Chain A
Amino acid sequence: ETGVTQTPRHLVMGMTNKKSLKCEQHLGHNAMYWYKQSAKKPLELMFVYNFKEQTENNSVPSRFSPECPNSSHLFLHLHTLQPEDSALYLCASSHHLAGESYEQYFGPGTRLTVT
């Protein structure tokens, strides 16, 4: 049990579909992250939220839209995706205080396939 859950675990969607990925953390953390993990590529940070405020957007295309309604929940809304967006999408959470550094706790990921 990681304390970070993600749903769904697997998702197949067409390029014209709209879907959302959900992440929930039960660890009392105040920072949450979305990463993309593709085969043969390093883990790519997509978005960072601290205290529900987005603090990082790593040049992610607008077809990915994050939402963080509170410090325990994080969503990634998907629309008009491309086949190259197929990957494992990981959510993570951590404590965050200015000037401090903490390890991240990861969820199991959502395996996304875009057809």
Chain B
Amino acid sequence: AQSVSQHNHHVILSEAASLELGCNYSYGGTVNLFWYVQYPGQHLQLLLKYFSGDPLVKGIKGFEAEFIKSKFSFNLRKPSVQWSDTAEYFCAVNASSTNAGKSTFGDGTTLTVKP
């Protein structure tokens, strides 16, 4: 069975600080990886995804994530956060060999950016 671990439950940063949120998964086969974001009072939405190709993927609002297969990781980064990045961030993994629709989500990381 696949599982996802997000190490940071709550991160507090000042504006302009750099961000890195950890995500590790456990599954030995081919995976598709996602980061979703949930802004306060809004629905969960896709931030970025990795299916294949360049392991460094870029998403919306200046976010990027790097897939490191040897470390089973897909960490989310942003060089300079803004107050509007305050949200909850979820990493998700979808094992290609199983039901393609079934994603396993991490516990989520709450990011608070102080103005």
Contact = CB atoms under 8 A, between A and B. Distances in A.
A72 to B, nearest CB: 16
A41 to B, nearest CB: 7
Interface string B75-115: 00000000000000010001010011111111110000000
Contact of A97 (B36, B49, B100, B107): B100
Contact of B102 (A42, A56, A108): A56
B102 A99 contact: no
Contacts of A97: 100
B44 to A, nearest CB: 4
A103 to B, nearest CB: 5
Contacts, number: 58
Given A42-B106, A101-B32, A31 B101 contact: yes
A50 B101 contact: yes
Interface of A: 2, 4, 31, 33, 41-43, 45, 48, 50, 55-56, 90, 92, 94, 96-109
Interface of B: 4, 32, 34, 36, 42-46, 49, 51, 90, 94, 96, 99-108
